[in-house]
Amino acid sequence: MSWIRDRLKASSKEASGASRAPKELPSTASQQIALDPSLMKRLRRALLRWHARVQRDVPWRQTRDPYRILVAEYMSQQTQLARVRAYYERFLRRFPDVWTLARASLDQVRKAWEGLGYYARARYLHEAARQIVREHGGRIPDDPARLSALPGCGPYTAAAIASLAFDRPVPVLDGNVRRVICRILALGEDPRRRAIEWELRAFVAALMAMGKNSKGGARAINQALMDLGALICRPRAPHCERCCWRFACRAWQLASPTAFPVKSAAPRRPHYEIAVGVIWRPPPALSSRSRRMQRDFESEVLIAQRREGGLLGGLWEFPGGKREPGESLRRCCAREIEEEVGLRVRVGRKLLTIRHAYSHFRITMHVFECWPLGGSPRALGCQKVRWVRCSHLSRYPFPAANRRIIEALREGDLCAKRR
């Protein structure tokens, strides 16, 4: 008797009585999956039939162009589909093929990426394009192992490109797929555990293997599973009454769909206080004639480029940093600026406060106006420093919180008042 049949028999007995709490479910990590071929065939048929009727309208699903799929998969890392949509077409208009992307400068790529977050991906995608041109003659590899050798292309991204662009039989386990399988098998352990991951892969691989001589390849199975999770088996309110897999779903039989997948508690994200300075460039000593003309001059502010490799690497920002215990915000602002760009500054009034959340921490950013007391800026704790006209700030890629400072400068007409 197969593992899944055992489970389903057991669950039908349970279904006649009260539903069991998920914590009572047996651990499955050590069990071998011997999936029932006839059940897997039924599951496969039901899934593909359902998917033929209700495919999601996703731009990169309409293409087999590996470059477009590669761009979509890099953009989709850690980011929701609705957010990627807004950037995807614009990015492809700017960089329509791998050669154009490889020829572009990193700053141009970052600018096109600005606002999408997780900026290391822009750098990785740019490096990957260069590597594809250099090592593969501009052809994107179809093999997951060779795809994994590209910068920023982890196992998930490599599997997605290999499957969606080349129909290679590799399971693509995104959050939606994990949730569906955890529920149908009622897996009582965290799916991020390696042993459980193996079970999920084995399940998808078995679904694919059932279709060797029938319609629908690996690409179709992966896409259908992703869509089942996104449209029907939703995280908080699954539509079990409309689900093509309800006939075999253990979580539904237990009347506890939302109890799966089981997750360990996430650690609380730390919070930091940050002080940054909008440092105005002092006007040069001018003759009286020039002084009359200076009304036409535009204010300049100092910006610094973050070092490559770290968080938000290569993006530009207003200098500043994290407050030390017991330090005042103004003192922190002056100290951080001196450490980062080598300028002693007078810290003036506070312009605004910004709250922002990153994936692993949260910040409250306090923004002050500052004026140099002497010296010239130098790149000490950053990659580059530059005086920039306010109207030119939009030419540089900034992280989200810093872009809100630029908006505030524009809205408050602050740039025009500084000279």
Cα diameter, the chain: 97
Which residue, 188 or 238, is less far from ligand SF4 as judged by CB?
A: 238
Which residue, 171 or 238, is less far from ligand SF4 as judged by CB?
A: 238
Other CB atoms within a 10 A radius of the CB of residue 275 amount to: 26
Which residue, 243 or 390, is less far from ligand SF4 as judged by CB?
A: 243
Q: How far is CA 331 from CA 317, 322, 325, 326, in A?
A: 19, 11, 12, 10
SS3 35: coil
What strands, in cross-sheet order, belong to the sheet with 271-279? 320-322, 271-279, 362-374, 344-357
Measured distance CA(318)–CA(335) in Å, rounded: 14
Closest distance of CB 299 from ligand SF4, Å: 57
Residues of this chain that bind ligand SF4 (CB under 6 A): 180, 183-184, 232-233, 238-240, 243, 245-246, 249, 251-252, 257
Q: What angle do CA 158, 162, 167 make, to 5 degrees?
A: 155
Closest distance of CB 218 from ligand SF4, Å: 20
| Residue 396 token pair | 């540089």
Closest distance of CB 402 from ligand SF4, Å: 41
Which residue, 182 or 415, is less far from ligand SF4 as judged by CB?
A: 182
Closest distance of CB 181 from ligand SF4, Å: 9
Give catalytic status of residue 73 as yes or no: yes
194-209 vs 175-185: helix axis angle to the nearest 10? 90
Q: Where are the beta strands (DSSP E) in 26-177?
A: none
Closest distance of CB 246 from ligand SF4, Å: 4
SS3 213: coil
Closest distance of CB 228 from ligand SF4, Å: 7
Q: Which of 73, 189, 336, 340 is catalytic?
A: 73
Which residue, 8 or 301, is less far from ligand SF4 as judged by CB?
A: 8
Q: Contact 167/218 with Cβ under 8 angstroms? A: yes
The residues with which 276 forms a beta bridge, in sequence order, are: 320, 367
Backbone angles phi, psi at 73, to 5 degrees: -70, -35
Measured distance CA(337)–CA(377) in Å, rounded: 10
Q: Contact 117/88 with Cβ under 8 angstroms? A: no
Q: Contact 300/280 with Cβ under 8 angstroms? A: yes
Which residue, 240 or 400, is less far from ligand SF4 as judged by CB?
A: 240
Q: Which residues are tagged catalytic?
A: 73
